[in-house]
Amino acid sequence: FSCNKFDISQLQTEQQKDENIQQKIEALNKDPDKVDFVFKDGVLYKLVQKLHSTRKKQFPYIPATMITDLLQACHDDPIAGHFGVTRTYFKLKNDYWWPSMKASIQKYIKSCPKWQQFNISRQKKPGLLKPIKPPDGPFQMIAIDYVGPLPRTPSENRYVLVITDMFTRWVTALA
């Protein structure tokens, strides 16, 4: 059993045991036009219309008993790479289908000890904000910023330097 290959006879056997799949096959036999499934060569396939395509692609409906084995093959195998939810989902959604696929992939990967151990956040942690002591009088603390680029003035200025006294809140703007 690998991520891209598995035994079709095993899939057929497990689909025959799965109640949800058997209900889909019965619904398909009653009214083939109302169901987005097709039963071919003893295997139930989900019909999914891909973006920018007029044709529907067939994906084997994976029975509940085979999902864990498939996830192990596509996530735990050393060649698979222990990818996160998104990459594992995109790897699987191009070949297979089952109900609540993304949720079951997410649940499986969140429970993977190796993924938990080595999955580190790649985002920079936010800095810690510290309160600034207010000034006791004028000109003890000033804030300087600039505004722009703005439309050019007759003297070719495009930016305005803004200086604010933090005690009096007096603002001076220089072009």
pLDDT tens digits for 6-40? Answer: 678 888 888 899 899 898 888 888 887 777 888 88
pTM for this structure?
0.62
Q: Are 3 and 80 in contact (CB under 8 A)?
A: yes
Report d(CA 71, CA 103) in Å as an integer: 12
The domain made up of 8-118 has a fold known as: Endonuclease III; domain 1 (1.10.340)
Tell me the pLDDT band of 2, cut-offs 50, 70 and 90: low
Pairing of strands 142-147, 160-165: antiparallel
- What counts of helices (H) and strands (E) characterise the chain? 6, 6
Q: Once rounded to an integer, what is the mean pLDDT over residues 142-161?
A: 92
Evaluate if residue 5 carries a pLDDT over 90. no
The per-residue pLDDT for 160 is: 94
pLDDT tens digits for 66-108? Answer: 998 888 888 777 666 677 788 889 888 888 999 999 999 999 8
Domain limits, the chain = 8-118, 142-174
Evaluate if residue 58 carries a pLDDT over 80. yes
Tell me the pLDDT band of 143, cut-offs 50, 70 and 90: very high
